[in-house]
Amino acid sequence: METILVLAHTETDGSLAKPALEALGAAKSLGGTLIIGLVGENVQAAAHRIAGCGAAKFLAVSGADFTQARYATDAAAAEAIAKTAGASIIVAPATSRWNRVLSGVAHRLGGRADTHVTAISAAAGAISINRWYYRQRMEAVIQRAQRPWVIALDPGCCEAWQGDAGTATVENVAVALAEAQKRTTVTGVKAPAADQQTIRPDAPLLLVAGAGWTKKQADGQTHVPEAEKLILGFLKLTQASLGGSKSLVDLGGEGQAVLSFMTHLHQIGQTGSTPRHQKGLSTCCHGEEPHTVGWRFVNERRAISLDPNCGWARGKADVLYVADAFAVMAKVNEQLAAKKSA
Amino acid sequence: MSTPYQIVVCGSIVPDPLQTLEPAAGPAGPALKNEMMLPAVLDPWAWHALFEAAHLAKGAPGSKVWLVSIAPKAKLQQVMMIVAQKAPFELVAVDGPSSGFTEAAEAAAILADAIKAIPGLDMKKLLVFGGWESASRGAGATMQIVGERLGVTDQFQGVDKLTVAGDGSMEILERIEGGKHQVSKCAGPPAVFGWATGNLPEPPNNPQTGMMNMRTIMPSLQRAKPAKLGAEGVKFVSVTQPSQRRDTQIVKDTPPDEVAKQIVAWITGG
């Protein structure tokens, strides 16, 4: 029987984020002996929150040095907990903080890591994981001989654990840090102002803008300010998340007219993100393969394009509207505003 | 006076993103159908890492850039014809598979050994660059393990910006959740950087740089040692393409008002 460690870090307020609860839910489905490992400045509240999960033990590395998402200290903490737990399987949420360190930790433990895992299952005494290769173009089911096996589970792939809070007794694991492990200091987070943030991972709807928004229209002119107004207006009305095609995002670097709010962080596809939204609306984008691989986990897809033979028409969207996105989105915004004020 | 750096960029080759990829069963596990026939490019995020390395080296006189790559020699040579014109670097080639189905840990061991073998390597000047993920394995694991094997524990992933201050310290912007960046300050080399897209546009081709690079690329390819790189301990139960082709409904010759009505109903659920 496997000993399974769920490795989670707390948020700045001491809570556990949803991906951590998803990792716990997935780990519980595997059976075996469950151990919880927590890292953060103060982990007691988080331990109490999941006290009813049936863990045999709660281990923690805590203190001011472990507030920061920093490789050297996070790796030391995760390594110490894993060694104390003696776990053969380590399940962790694939947050940016854990993604930074887990593969290095697996190396220190003499094990292996699999990242961007989208499913875990146990059958006939074997644990299997699902993960994608070649940027979501093919999916593999894998089993491993190596232990410990670190499994970083992508957020949004499993049901979050739901259970009662209670009282958990936490066993502290001591980690002695050298000064060399504090050469890096996290100084803050850079983010757009709240009312200007257009990346919303939890939004039900994704709007993707393609390079067509900045190209010459039927009158021979570009209409970038109008495009910006339409897109931002739509985002304000729907609270959708914004994505961009690579070609649109790259225009800035090529000195062409750009949408002022579009950055590489918005990029969806081969060299961008693969977000998870229930619905996705593509506008002014051809829907070619390097872009649409980023849509793998968008369930319902619609597109507006002037080209009836674009990639979206070839089985990549549920509905393709062959229409002028400027005209359609203006009407969409009008109708959404009317609906809102009704 | 700025500090000279030794910047080692790790990057392999991947199939051109425009190609259709299909899995096939190979003698050593899964592979791509007609893999050796597919046109290849330098891995996109490693490509960005290379531009950033060249940019950093240019601003710090005395710096040097190496590109360490595990790939089939013949394919690597083809890709280098393009890459060589973009930025000055010295190639360290290792002859091995570039398949995404190989293990990050095994690739990292080979890369770390190749880096350690660079003559005159000075850990006090070393910056290890690479893509934060590859477009093949897509694990985001290799760079961390390379760092661990080199004893480098100042590591950053999803890097979009690196700024060197007057005192030699570095400010790093790393991508985190929700379209934000974590800002960190690192005392200096050695450090590992897994780059996201960075900030720099693709440099124009420079034939002179290409000619200069080719003087070291061809000998490096000739002396590239074969490396054993596989997926020991991994059992691939299945590798499949997603059956995600949709029965697309194409709506045309419809007034914008009517199209908008359909979209609004879809978004609002009624």
Residue A235's Cβ-side half-sphere holds a number of Cα atoms within 13 Å equal to 20
Average pLDDT of the residues of chain B: 95
Interchain pair B237, A322: CB under 8 A: no
Interchain pair B246, A104: CB under 8 A: no
Do A251 and A115 fall into the same domain?
no
pLDDT (tens digit per residue) in A217-249: 999 999 999 999 999 999 999 999 999 988 888
Domain boundary among A182, A217, A251: A182
Tell me, yes or no, whether A38 lies in a domain.
yes
Distances (CA, A) of A21 to A53, A155, A160, B170: 10, 10, 5, 35
Rounded distance, CA A149 to CA A112, Å?
5
Q: Which residues are registered as beta bridge partners of A126?
A: A123
Chain B interface test: which of A71, A208, A336 (most B C-beta within 10 Å): A71
Kindly indicate whether the domain formed by B6-226 is annotated with CATH number 3.40.50.620.
yes
As for how many domains chain A has, the answer is: 2
Domain boundary among A182, A208, A223: A182
Taking residues A184-207, what's their average pLDDT?
Answer: 92
Domain coverage including residue A270:
194-341
Identify the band that residue A26 occupies on the pLDDT scale cut at 50, 70 and 90: very high
pLDDT at position A194 is 79
Residue in the block written with tokens 């947050």? A95
pLDDT (tens digit per residue) in B131-143: 999 999 999 999 9
Distances (CA, A) of A252 to A133, A210, A260, B71, B212: 30, 13, 9, 32, 30
Q: Which amino acid is at B41?
A: V
Identify the band that residue A66 occupies on the pLDDT scale cut at 50, 70 and 90: very high
Show which of residues 14-53 on chain B sit within 8 Å of chain A, judged by CB atoms: 14-15, 17-18, 20-23, 30, 32, 44-45
A–B CB contacts, 8 A cutoff, strictly below: 280
Q: Give the largest CA-CA distance in chain A.
A: 70
Instruction: Give percent of chain B above pLDDT 70.
Output: 99
Do A165 and A201 fall into the same domain?
no
Do A279 and A223 fall into the same domain?
yes
Residues in chain B: 270
* Best CA proximity match to B158, nearest among A203, A304, A271: A271
Rounded distance, CA B55 to CA B59, Å?
7
Domain boundary among A151, A182, A213: A182
pLDDT (tens digit per residue) in B35-75: 999 999 999 999 999 999 999 999 999 999 999 999 999 99
Do A174 and A220 fall into the same domain?
no
Question: In chain B, whose CA is at the least distance from the CA of A113?
Answer: B141
Structure tokens at A308: 């009836």
pLDDT at position A101 is 98
Alpha-carbon distance B149 to nearest alpha carbon in chain A (angstroms): 9
Q: A207 pLDDT exceeds 60? A: yes
Tell me, yes or no, whether A200 lies in a domain.
yes
Structure tokens at A37: 């490992």
Asked if B263 is an interface residue toward chain A (Cβ–Cβ < 8 A), one would say yes
pLDDT at position A254 is 64
Distances (CA, A) of A318 to A104, A135, A299, A329: 41, 22, 10, 18
Do A170 and A219 fall into the same domain?
no
Asked if A300 is an interface residue toward chain B (Cβ–Cβ < 8 A), one would say yes
Do A208 and A178 fall into the same domain?
no
pLDDT (tens digit per residue) in A150-177: 999 999 999 999 999 999 999 999 999 9
pLDDT (tens digit per residue) in B156-215: 999 999 999 999 999 999 999 999 999 999 999 999 999 998 888 889 999 999 999 999
pLDDT (tens digit per residue) in B142-169: 999 999 999 999 999 999 999 999 999 9
Asked if A47 is an interface residue toward chain B (Cβ–Cβ < 8 A), one would say no
pLDDT at position A246 is 84
Do A158 and A226 fall into the same domain?
no
Output the domain CATH number for residue A280: 3.40.50.1220
Rounded distance, CA A214 to CA A284, Å?
9
Output the domain CATH number for residue A71: 3.40.50.620
Asked if B190 is an interface residue toward chain A (Cβ–Cβ < 8 A), one would say no
Do A217 and A331 fall into the same domain?
yes
Interchain pair A190, B240: CB under 8 A: no
- Which burial class, exposed, middle or buried, applies to B147 when counting CB atoms under 10 A from its CB (0-12, 13-18, 19+)? buried
Do A86 and A9 fall into the same domain?
yes
Measured between beta carbons, the chain A residues lying within 8 angstroms of B144 are: 71, 100-104, 107
Show which of residues 100-129 on chain B sit within 8 Å of chain A, judged by CB atoms: 100-101, 103-105, 108
Q: Which amino acid is at A183?
A: R
Instruction: Give percent of chain A above pLDDT 70.
Output: 98
Judged by DSSP in three states, B124 sits in helix
Q: A253 pLDDT exceeds 70? A: no
Q: B1 pLDDT exceeds 60? A: no
pLDDT at position B244 is 65
Interchain pair B260, A192: CB under 8 A: no
Interchain pair A335, B261: CB under 8 A: yes
